[in-house]
Chain A
Amino acid sequence: ILNVEQSPQSLHVQEGDSTNFTCSFPSSNFYALHWYRWETAKSPEALFVMTLNGDEKKKGRISATLNTKEGYSYLYIKGSQPEDSATYLCAFYHPGSNYKLTFGKGTLLTVNP
């Protein structure tokens, strides 16, 4: 059974704060790690697909890093805005996983104005 753990479970920050959260996944047999942003009443939106150890990806004020050897990825948000409020999900894929993404439970971010 694959376990993908995300922490913290929820986070409240003030507008303008920078924040980060963690996704932990099995370090063996890695293929890809996905990050999604899921706003209430909308569909999950792909942020990043990361495949190489040491990968760093950036999209506006959001960036992510990947360490496949130790099995973790960090998501950073610089200068949080209220519109960043959402659940951030990571999902792990490895060959032999029956073609599925295994999701964590997500980190619920609330940015207060």
Chain B
Amino acid sequence: DAGVTQSPTHLIKTRGQHVTLRCSPISGHKSVSWYQQVLGQGPQFIFQYYEKEERGRGNFPDRFSARQFPNYSSELNVNALLLGDSALYLCASSLEDRSGYGYTFGSGTRLTVV
């Protein structure tokens, strides 16, 4: 199994631009979650999707949006990028939406906003 794959691995964008990050979950996993990790902090929850429906949203502005496709892959979109959006964005997949199961994480997308 390929594991959770994220693309791109690194990205540099300019303030005000838009970015799309992509995630493919482990085969058979129906839940995808997105987390933002900045240096010195633990990962912060952005979204969870299960069976193509948004199940949870973290404390992030409306510039952040996401969706899940019929094949359970997911995209995270961020509009009007700010310098503070520079972070590692992690995608995690799990069998179901509740956290009685461990998550499998991808290696992340490192976003730098200049």
Contacts and interface: CB of A to CB of B under 8 A. Distances in A.
A19 interface: no
A73 B55 CA distance: 28
A100 B102 contact: no
Interface stretch (B12-20, B38-46, B61-69, B71-79): B38-46
Contacts of A98: 45, 56-58
A49 B100 contact: yes
A31 B100 CA distance: 8
Interface stretch (A39-47, A61-69, A74-82): A39-47
Given A43-B90, A43-B108, A99 B102 contact: no
Main secondary structure, interface of B, reads loop
Nearest to B100: A32
B104 interface: yes
A36 B105 CA distance: 10
Interface string A34-61: 1010000111111011010000000000
A49 B101 contact: yes
Contacts, number: 72
A89 interface: yes
A91 B44 CA distance: 11
A31 B101 CA distance: 11
A46 B104 contact: yes
A89 B42 contact: yes
Contacts of B97: 99
A100 B56 contact: yes
Contacts of A51: 100
Given A89-B42, A99-B50, 15 more contacts: A41-B107, A43-B4, A43-B105, A44-B90, A44-B105, A93-B99, A98-B57, A99-B56, A100-B56, A101-B33, A101-B43, A103-B35, A103-B43, A105-B41, A106-B42
